[in-house]
A and B are shown apart, each in its own frame.
Chain A
Amino acid sequence: MKMTYREALREGLQTAIETDPRVYLMGEDVGAYGGTYAVTKGFLEKYGPEKIIDAPLSEVGFTGIGVGAAIGGLRPIVEIMTVNFSLLALDQIVNGASILRHMSGGQLSVPLVIRMTTGGGRQLAAQHSNSFEGWFAHIPGIKILTPSTVEDARSCLHFALLDPDPVLIFEHALLLNSSEEVADRPTRDSLFKAAVRKEGSSLTLITYGGMLPRCLEAAHEFDGTGEKIEVIDLRCLRPLDNEAIFNSVRKTHRVLMVDEGWRSGSLSAEISARIMESCFYELDAPVQRLCRKEVPIPYARHLEIAAIPQKQDIFNRIQEILS
C-alpha cells in the first residue's frame, strides 16, 4: 500500500498512544488545531485531552515537565513545533534531560521523546528554516534520529519510546508529503544503524533526513555512466554508525558529505574527521563537504535555493571529485 511520511508519523503516534498507557503527547497546537503539519489531525477527538495535550507557548516549561514526567514513570512525547523553537527549550534538553543520568551517578533515567520539524526550503525565511540536528548531535546523553523515508517515519517513535534515554526526532518538513509503497506492517528495522540506500563503488555520498531524496536523485544520474555512487543514510546522528561509514569508505575511497546544516563546526566536519582518523590511507581524494551556505536563510526563492544544497549542486560536486 501507498503511505505518506505524514501518515507514517501518524501511524507511529497512534500505535504508541494505543499500546502504552504511560504515553501522552504534549505540544503547541497538537490537539484542537490538529498539529501544525496536520500530523495529529483528529487525535484530540479520538484520544481525548488526557492523551493529547495542547500546551501554551512555553517551550522550556513543557519540555521541563516532560523531563520530570519521564523521571516519574510516564512516557512523554513532547512536540516542539519546529527546530527553531527548540532553542527556547535548550536548557531543559542540554542542562536537564541529557545530563541527569550521569550527574546522578546512574540513578535517574529520562525516557523522554522530543519530536520536531526541521529544515528549510519553503520560503519561511531565517527564523523558520534552521537545521540544528547536527548541533544537538554534539551533546552526550541524548540520541538523535532523522527519519528520511516513510518506513523510517513509521518506526522512529517505536524505537525512541523503547529507549531508556532521551531521544530527539527530527522530521523534515519537505518530506511530509513524500510517499512510498510499504508493507501492511512496519518492518521495524532499527533506526540506530545507518542504511545503505544505494550501493555503489565509485564514491560514497553520506547524508541524512531531508537531503536524502536529492542525494539519491543526483546519484542515479550517474547510472549507466560507469560510475556507481553509494548513498549512506546516517538515520541516527548520535550515536553515529562509524562502521557503516568506514565500510563504505573502504569500498569507494571517495567521500562527499551532504549536510543541511552550516559547515563550520558541523556534523559533516565531525564525520570528515572520523574518516581521517580511521580511514586516512583508504582515501583516494580529500573528503568533501556540501553544506548550507553560512547565511541566515533568506526569504526570496532564488536566494533560498542558492543557500541550501540542491540536486544539481550535489551532481556537480560528485563530478568534480570523480574527474
Chain B
Amino acid sequence: MTNPDHLRLLHNMLRIRRMEELCAELYTQEKIRGFLHLYIGEEAVVTGVMSLLRPQDNVMATYREHGHALLKGVSAKLIMAEMFGKVEGCSKGRGGSMHLISAANRFFGGSAIVAAGIPQATGLAFAAQRLNEDRQTVCFFGEGATAEGAFHETMNMAALWKIPILFCCENNLYAMGTALSRSQSQQEMAKKAESYNMAALAVDGMNIFDVIEKTQAALEFIKREQKPYFLEFKTYRFRPHSMFDPELYRNKEEVQKWKERCPIDFLRKHLISRDGLSEDVLKKLDKEVEQEMQDAISFAENGTLEPVENLEKNIYENDL
C-alpha cells in the first residue's frame, strides 16, 4: 500500500516538472515571452515546504516561482494564462512569468528585484503577528539574495523584533551566472543567519524527506517561540538561468553530477522500493499531470486579451 502522502508529494513534483518543461516548449513557440526562469531540479524544496502550509499562510517568492504559485493553490490554468498575457491570468496579464500573484491564495509573488521580497514578507509576518491572525509566513529567495543589503537589514530586524517568519534560502549555487564561490566570502548560508542570532539549519534540498522534516521542525519552532527561522536548502537548477542563458559559466560534468541526484527520481525510487509503488500507478500519475497541463494550455490559448482601454487602470484604487 503506497503512502498517500508520499504519492501526493510525487504528484506535485511531477506537476511542477511537467509545467516547466511545457513552459520551455511554449517559449520556443513564442507563446510565452519575456523572461522565463525554470525551477527544474529544485522541486523537492518547494514541494516539501508547501506540503506543510495551509491556505491562510502567506508565501512570497522570487521570479523563479511557477512551482511556488502552483503548490500554493493557484491553478495551472491561471498560471498559464498569465504567462500567455491573458486577462484570465492570475495577475490579469500584468505580471507574466516573474510576477504570478494571487491574493486569494495568499501568494504575494513573484518579485524580480533580488531580496526585495525579504522585507516585504517580514512585513506580512509582522502584520499577522500584530493582528493575532492564525497564519504563518514563508519567504523564498536564492542564495544570491544574501549578498544584498535588504537581506542583511531584514535578518537583523526579524531577529531583533522576534518576527515569526520562515526564511527559505534556495541555494542553487549560482546567482544567474556567478558561482557562489566566486561571489560570497561566507558560503554557508545558515551561518549568515546565525550571525544575527537567528535559528538556522542547512537542508539537503534534493531529498524531500529532509526538506519536510526540517521545515516541520522550523515551523513548529516559529509558532512556539514567535521568532524567525532560517533554512538553507542546498539544491541545483538543471536548466539555464533563463531562456537567454548560454551557460558559459558551468560545465556539463557538474550539471550531470547534480542530475544524478534528481529529486523526482529519488522520491520515485523510494516509493517503488519502500512503498511498492506500481508502474500502473506511476503511469496514471503521469497521465493526470499531462491532462492538467494540457487543459491549462488550452485555457490560456482560449483566453482573452484585456482591452487596451483598461491599460491605465489599477494605478490607484480610484482612477484619477
Contact at B314–A102, with CB atoms within 8 Å?
Answer: yes
Contact at A105–B317, with CB atoms within 8 Å?
Answer: no
In the complex, which residues of chain A have a beta carbon less than 8 angstroms from the beta carbon of B156? Answer: 56, 58, 61
* A71 and B150 contact, Cβ closer than 8 Å, known pairs A103-B94, A105-B95, A165-B317: no
Contact at B126–A64, with CB atoms within 8 Å?
Answer: no
Q: Does A170 contact B (CB under 8 A)?
A: no
Contact at B123–A68, with CB atoms within 8 Å?
Answer: yes
Q: Does A109 contact B (CB under 8 A)?
A: yes
In the complex, which residues of chain A have a beta carbon less than 8 angstroms from the beta carbon of B318? Answer: 164
In the complex, which residues of chain B have a beta carbon less than 8 angstroms from the beta carbon of A141? Answer: 315-316
Q: Does B313 contact A (CB under 8 A)?
A: yes
Query: Beta-carbon contacts of B153-172 to A below 8 Å, as 1s and 0s?
Result: 11011001100000000000
Q: State in angstroms the CA–CA spacing of A96 and B160 once bound together.
A: 24
Nearest residue (CB) in A for B100 is A104
Q: State in angstroms the CA–CA spacing of A22 and B132 once bound together.
A: 12
In the complex, which residues of chain A have a beta carbon less than 8 angstroms from the beta carbon of B15? Answer: none
How many chain A residues touch B (CB < 8 A): the figure is 41
Checking B89, B95, B126 against A72 with a beta-carbon cut-off of 8 angstroms, the contacting residue is B126
Contact at B119–A60, with CB atoms within 8 Å?
Answer: yes
Least Cβ–Cβ distance between A167 and chain B, in angstroms? 11
Nearest residue (CB) in A for B112 is A95
Contact at B108–A61, with CB atoms within 8 Å?
Answer: no
* A55 and B91 contact, Cβ closer than 8 Å, known pairs A67-B120, A68-B119: no
Contact at A55–B157, with CB atoms within 8 Å?
Answer: yes
Contact at B126–A105, with CB atoms within 8 Å?
Answer: no
Contact at A64–B150, with CB atoms within 8 Å?
Answer: yes
* A103 and B99 contact, Cβ closer than 8 Å, known pairs A64-B150, A68-B127, A91-B150: yes
Q: State in angstroms the CA–CA spacing of A55 and B35 once bound together.
A: 36
In the complex, which residues of chain B have a beta carbon less than 8 angstroms from the beta carbon of A53? Answer: 161
Contact at B314–A64, with CB atoms within 8 Å?
Answer: no
Q: State in angstroms the CA–CA spacing of A64 and B128 once bound together.
A: 16
Contact at A61–B120, with CB atoms within 8 Å?
Answer: no
Least Cβ–Cβ distance between A244 and chain B, in angstroms? 15
In the complex, which residues of chain A have a beta carbon less than 8 angstroms from the beta carbon of B314? Answer: 101-102, 105-106
Please provide the chain B residues from 183 to 199 with a CB less than 8 Å away from any CB of chain A in the complex: none
Checking A22, A24, A96 against B120 with a beta-carbon cut-off of 8 angstroms, the contacting residue is A96
Nearest residue (CB) in A for B120 is A68
Q: Does A39 contact B (CB under 8 A)?
A: no
Contact at B101–A101, with CB atoms within 8 Å?
Answer: no
Least Cβ–Cβ distance between A67 and chain B, in angstroms? 5
Checking A71, A74, A105, A109 against B91 with a beta-carbon cut-off of 8 angstroms, the contacting residue is A105
Nearest residue (CB) in A for B119 is A64
Contact at A62–B103, with CB atoms within 8 Å?
Answer: no
Contact at B127–A73, with CB atoms within 8 Å?
Answer: yes
Checking A24, A61, A71, A143 against B124 with a beta-carbon cut-off of 8 angstroms, the contacting residue is A71
Please provide the chain B residues from 83 to 133 with a CB less than 8 Å away from any CB of chain A in the complex: 89-95, 99, 101-104, 108-109, 113, 116, 118-128, 130-131, 133
Least Cβ–Cβ distance between B142 and chain A, in angstroms? 17
Q: Does A66 contact B (CB under 8 A)?
A: yes
Contact at A104–B123, with CB atoms within 8 Å?
Answer: no
Q: Does B177 contact A (CB under 8 A)?
A: no
Least Cβ–Cβ distance between A72 and chain B, in angstroms? 3
Q: Does B276 contact A (CB under 8 A)?
A: no
Contact at A69–B157, with CB atoms within 8 Å?
Answer: no
Contact at A101–B317, with CB atoms within 8 Å?
Answer: yes
Contact at B113–A68, with CB atoms within 8 Å?
Answer: no
Q: Does B34 contact A (CB under 8 A)?
A: no
Contact at B101–A107, with CB atoms within 8 Å?
Answer: yes
Nearest residue (CB) in B for A108 is B103
Q: Does B149 contact A (CB under 8 A)?
A: yes
Checking B94, B122, B313 against A68 with a beta-carbon cut-off of 8 angstroms, the contacting residue is B122
Contact at B123–A71, with CB atoms within 8 Å?
Answer: yes
Nearest residue (CB) in B for A104 is B101
Please provide the chain A residues from 50 to 98 with a CB less than 8 Å away from any CB of chain B in the complex: 53, 55-56, 58, 60-74, 76, 91-92, 95-96
Query: Beta-carbon contacts of A113-153 to B below 8 Å, as 1s and 0s?
Result: 00000000000000000000000000011010000000000
Contact at A108–B101, with CB atoms within 8 Å?
Answer: yes
Least Cβ–Cβ distance between A236 and chain B, in angstroms? 11
Q: Does B58 contact A (CB under 8 A)?
A: yes
Contact at A61–B150, with CB atoms within 8 Å?
Answer: yes
Least Cβ–Cβ distance between B294 and chain A, in angstroms? 25
Q: Does B308 contact A (CB under 8 A)?
A: no
Q: State in angstroms the CA–CA spacing of A164 and B124 once bound together.
A: 17
Least Cβ–Cβ distance between A92 and chain B, in angstroms? 7
Between-chain CB contacts (< 8 Å), 23 pairs:
A56-B153, A62-B157, A63-B119, A68-B119, A68-B120, A68-B123, A71-B124, A73-B133, A96-B116, A101-B315, A101-B316, A102-B94, A102-B314, A103-B94, A105-B89, A105-B95, A106-B92, A106-B313, A107-B91, A107-B104, A108-B108, A141-B315, A165-B316
Q: Which residues of A contact B (CB under 8 A)?
A: 22, 24, 53, 55-56, 58, 60-74, 76, 91-92, 95-96, 101-109, 140-141, 143, 164-165, 239
- List the 10 closest pairs (A to B, CB-CB), nearest first: A68-B123, A64-B119, A72-B127, A105-B92, A61-B153, A58-B153, A68-B120, A69-B123, A106-B314, A65-B123
